[in-house]
Amino acid sequence: MTTVELDYSSDGIVRLLRTPPEQRSPSWLKDALQQAIMLELATLPPYLCGWWSLLQDTDSGKAAAAAIRVIVFDEMSHLGHVCNLLTTIGGSPRIADPSVLAPYPCPLPGGVRPAINPGLEVYLGGLTKDSVEMYSQIEAPEEPLAQLVLEEETFASIGLFYTAILEAFRVHQGEIRGTRQVIKEMDHGEGNSLFAIRSLADAEKVITIIKEQGEGTEKTPDNPFPGVAGELSHYYVFREIFRGRKLKKIQETPPKWDFQGDPIPFPNARPMGKVPKGGWANDPATVPDATARAELDKGNAAFSAMLHSLEEAWKQDRQEDADQHLGAAIGHMFALKGPAVKLMNMPLPNDPAKRYGPEFRFVATP
């Protein structure tokens, strides 16, 4: 039986995927879902930094901010869906734990290495061409309908991991108990409301939402669970921003898309620098003064409180108790933005052209 340690930096996902399908037990499924929680948690801070750095002083800036906001809320819902998948089979999500959080800059968790860029580094910084490229590589499908670089490239994706999880649910559907399910109506798009997973059909639905909102389907780049009609899946949203062109269907049979639509000027953004390993204070060149330190502490405390509240929400047997903790988590989430934007207006001491930004560091007692 394969067991994996609770450690972001381990190769847990790789080892889980190497386990022969016939040996993927209910314990394997619990381990896989905890690793999926790490994946969902890892993407949120980079996307939030990109979103909050946007100035929104142009049409393209406003459009990019709106699109990334949708993606952020999709990813938050994905985290909730995965927690429901874990609790329905008797597991307990670990969220407020430094061992499951990304030590930015770092690879994706569990040994995931996208074939398009095995050295992918996930980092915290403002919206730039480089960061949008990073976002694209995180979300890359197995077979993009409009290729990332060259037609002959092959891709490894997070979607493959979710496919393995779904296959395990089909084998172990008798483990689905419907326990400690958090239910929440969301107003940011079809498929984002959290619902109870009490059957295999529910598990299949939620994994389809997670995969196809990020990657699209084999037949279309559109998000099948959109907030508005015509919304693209996450990967193609990021590719449009990077390529500077709208995605356009250029052939009906067989269907083919390319970035040949209207121009999209790259949006203006606050020049947040890359947060060094261990935070700004860990690099002698970027040690914050008292003003910046105060805002960093506020942001880290709000982030940590949000994680604590989320973990508590999925420990509750009664929906009303879960609602209380989920509501607190949402409040802490909104408290993150104020300190972040203030930091993005504070110059770095070693490079006044660059700015501070949030660290998303966990503190044990927020």
Where b means 16+ CB within 10 Å and e means fewer, 42-76 reads: bbbbbbbbbbbbbeeeeebbebbbebbbbbbbbbb
Please confirm whether the linkage preceding 105 is cis (ω < 30° from 0). yes
Q: What is the mean pLDDT of residues 219-231?
A: 74
Cis peptide before 254, with omega less than 30 degrees from 0?
yes
Distances (CA, A) of 231 to 119, 186, 227: 30, 17, 7
* Residue 364: strand, helix, or coil: coil
The SS3 call for residue 249 is: strand
Q: What is the pLDDT of residues 143-187, one digit of tens each?
A: 544 443 333 333 335 778 889 999 999 999 999 999 999 999 887
pLDDT at 117: 76
Q: Between these two residues, 38 and 139, which has the higher pLDDT value?
A: 38
Residue 269: C-alpha distances to residues 53, 127, 204, 242 (Å)? 5, 6, 39, 14
pLDDT 10s digits, 350-363: 999 999 999 999 99
Q: Band of the pLDDT at 366, cuts 50, 70, 90? A: very low
pTM (predicted TM-score): 0.92
Q: What was the pLDDT predicted at 254? A: 83
pLDDT of residue 156: 38
3-class SS at 256?
strand
Give the lowest-confidence range in 221-225, 288-292, 358-362. Answer: 221-225
What gap in Å lies between CA 146 and CA 236, rounded to an integer? 8
Q: Which residues of 164-175 are buried (b: 16+ CB within 10 A; e: fewer)?
A: bbbebbeebeeb
What integer pLDDT is reported at residue 274 of this predicted model?
98
> Mean per-residue pLDDT for 103-128?
89
State the Cα torsion 66-117-257-165 to the nearest 10°. -80
Q: What pLDDT score does 167 carry?
A: 96
Please give the Cα distance from 345 to 181 (Å, whole number): 41
Q: Could you tell me whether strands 248-251 and 351-355 are parallel, antiparallel, or unpaired per DSSP bridges?
A: unpaired
pLDDT at residue 282 is higher than 50: yes
Q: What is the pLDDT of residues 193-204, one digit of tens each?
A: 999 999 999 999
Q: How far apart are CA 220 and CA 197, in angstroms?
A: 27
Specify the pLDDT at position 271. Answer: 98
Closest by Cα among 39, 213, 61 to 126? 61
Count helices and strands (H / E) in the chain: 10, 4
| 125 has pLDDT over 80 | yes
Mean pLDDT of the chain: 89
Q: pLDDT per residue over 336-349, tens digit each?
A: 999 999 999 999 99
Q: What pLDDT shows up at residue 207?
A: 94
For residues 75-92, average pLDDT? 96
Residue 54, classed as helix, strand or coil, is strand
| Reported confidence tier of residue 2, pLDDT bands at 50, 70, 90 | low
Q: Is the pLDDT of residue 87 over 80?
A: yes
Find the radius of gyration of the CA atoms of the chain. Answer: 20
In the predicted structure, residue 63 carries a pLDDT above the cut 90: yes
